[in-house]
A and B are shown apart, each in its own frame.
Chain A
């Protein structure tokens, strides 16, 4: 099924023509509403009239997460505050979260795009759909929620946590679809097994998974254990939230809602645009956004684009599986974590030395983060008659990490010089999850 056949099945020429018109409009809009972009465009001697077709995009400046941080909280917002009806936030490396304000129209576009994703997965009226992404500042919960309502299916705002209660609801309500992180889906399957609830006792048949990388093997495992079809759902809060791209019945690569989010692939080093088929950094320009439109936003996700015809009938361009990041960001339980965030917490503690190791693992299908940190020689030299000061220190570090990262980390205090030092570039992160 296709939610919006006009937009999702447009000919490539019509799409490019539409994108060109919308691109001109958004550049004109930010030129007159966002001093940040006006200054940038003026410095490059570009006026909105120079941007007429989609090919003109290469003339435009890039936007990075750092730009959002530097202009915290509302510096890149184009719409007046009186037009903003919702504000989301995602974690930032320096303690400054990224703030995204949405107008009523933005929420409408988001809901429409999300309804397209859900329809593509085979969800429709009469379905009962459980949203097990976190509700709150994170865009996952509310983003999918509004899409389900727009679609006309019944939404169960389960959010995360209390998995046993969730299993009961799935079973008792006859829930047919679910959205969550792929690792939570496996955790859910495990909880069901522990509770003695078999997959046949539920009516689950479809799942939308995203917010963290996952493999084909995980897909197979989720499909087998929950008895469902599992689809990829991609998005990022800076651009909108979940809804940017979605898999179709082909379950192979994700269609981009490119009438709203114009994708490009660029070389992450030279920033030169790369043709379809070549792998590079994914860049998005929001074509219709009012709250915080962004020009050429660098996602840091590495992927490639393809516009070969799809068996589902959609003509929109598809992005392949994300193969990595062009920065050092980790995605743990759906939350973005930068090693530099951990470092800034550790450096703020006089007991800690700037020597640490992050170990990311997956236990019982849930991501775990362990932070090993060496204490300073002066602290260590005072000696310890009991282990209490060390466990207290671990608790203190853990609490601070939790408040900055929004996820729990296990902290292990180490003796000075006990963490392995590698030759040359020190290794700060060990990711044992094997999700590539």
Chain B
């Protein structure tokens, strides 16, 4: 039900992000979505990409602080208000969103997020009939 996301710790110094992206480039790994959460001193770069396990190994071997996290990817129709509807479902169940970002893929909207209660989130996704995007489909759509 979930997909793999890379979370990379990045210090706010020029060249650190380039180093990460170049390593992925050299392995022919393609980015599907990415976002950076930052403070004054450092940030976390979150990446959805092709071959996440391989990407994880490559970055790890290069001494980069990286973790492979399972996140939800929910597909929505590309019309106004769908994201609000989806998040409201979780809010009504008392599930908090830790972080969230979105992108368009093949004419559909995709919401990537992590919650404070993965177990309950799974149940809600099933019971409310939300469409999740399987990991293999993400790469297929590229």
Contact = CB atoms under 8 A, between A and B. Distances in A.
Interface of A: 380-387, 390-391, 412-415, 418
Contacts of B44: 384-387
A384 B41 contact: no
Contacts of B13: 418
B15 to A, nearest CB: 12
Contact of A415 (B7, B65, B67): B65
Given A387-B37, A415-B65, 19 more contacts: A383-B7, A383-B9, A383-B68, A384-B44, A384-B65, A384-B67, A385-B5, A385-B67, A385-B114, A386-B7, A386-B37, A386-B99, A387-B39, A387-B42, A387-B43, A387-B44, A391-B39, A415-B9, A418-B13
Interface in B79-119: 98-99, 114
With most chain B CB atoms within 10 A of its CB, the pick from A391, A413, A415, A418 is A415
Given A383-B65, A384-B44, A385-B44, A414 B39 contact: no
Contact of A383 (B41, B42, B43, B67): B67
B7 A384 contact: yes
B11 interface: yes
B66 interface: yes
Given A414-B11, A415-B11, A418-B11, A382 B39 contact: no
B40 to A, nearest CB: 9
13 contacts: A380-B9, A380-B65, A381-B65, A382-B67, A383-B67, A384-B9, A386-B99, A387-B37, A391-B39, A414-B11, A414-B41, A415-B65, A418-B13
A386 B98 contact: yes
A413 B40 CA distance: 12
B76 to A, nearest CB: 23
Nearest to B6: A383
B77 to A, nearest CB: 29
Nearest to B56: A383
B53 interface: no
Contacts of A414: 11, 41
Q: Main secondary structure on chain B at its contact with chain A?
A: strand
Nearest to A394: B41
Contacts of A380: 9, 65
Interface in B110-138: 114
Contacts of A384: 7, 9, 44, 65, 67
Contacts of B114: 385
A184 B60 CA distance: 49
B139 interface: no
A386 B5 CA distance: 12
Most chain A CB within 10 A, of B43, B44, B66, is at B44
Interface in B54-75: 60, 65-69
Nearest to A380: B65
Contacts of B46: 385
Contacts of B43: 387
Contacts of A382: 67
Contacts of A415: 9, 11, 42, 65
Interface string B12-41: 010000000000000000000000010101
A414 B44 CA distance: 13
A385 B69 contact: yes
Contacts of A381: 60, 65
Contacts of A413: 41
Nearest to A418: B11
A387 B65 CA distance: 12
Task: List the 8 closest A-B pairs by CB distance, nearest first.
Answer: A383-B67, A385-B7, A385-B69, A380-B65, A384-B9, A383-B66, A383-B65, A412-B41
A279 to B, nearest CB: 41
Nearest to B98: A386
Nearest to A375: B65
Contacts of A385: 5, 7, 44, 46, 67, 69, 114
A413 B39 CA distance: 12
A391 B40 CA distance: 12
Q: In the complex, which of the residues B13, B44, B65, B114 has the most CB atoms of chain A within 10 Å of its own CB atom?
A: B65
A73 to B, nearest CB: 40
A380 B46 CA distance: 17
Nearest to B9: A384
Contacts of A386: 7, 37, 44, 98-99
Interface centre among A383, A387, A418 (most CB of B within 10 A): A383
B6 to A, nearest CB: 9
B7 A390 contact: no
Nearest to A390: B42
A384 B44 CA distance: 8
